[in-house]
Amino acid sequence: MGWRNLATRDLAAALRISPRAAARRLSGDVDISLNELSAIAQWLSVEVSDLVDMHRPKRTPHRASNPGSKLLLA
């Protein structure tokens, strides 16, 4: 985590999770919960809105051409 010279282990400590669990969240393998997002904002002394890209288009669910297929996000 190059920003502010913070390390993954520091994030892990702030969230009270293992460094591996923190790394999985940073890599996108595991979603960050709203509670975790709030804790991260507090830890960084910023607002939650500072951590969320509000200008990014929303992904809308749709089904593939096969009616039996899984729900996809575009």
DSSP state of 18: -
Domain boundaries, the chain: 1-53
The pTM assigned to this predicted structure is 0.63
Ranges of the chain whose pLDDT falls below 50: 71-74
pLDDT at residue 71 in the model: 47
Is 6 in contact with 31 (CB distance < 8 Å)?
Answer: no
Domain 1-53 has CATH 3.40.190.10: no
pLDDT at 24: 95
Compute the distance between CA of residue 11 and CA of residue 38 in angstroms, rounded to an integer.
Answer: 13
Contact by Cβ (8 Å): 71, 57: no
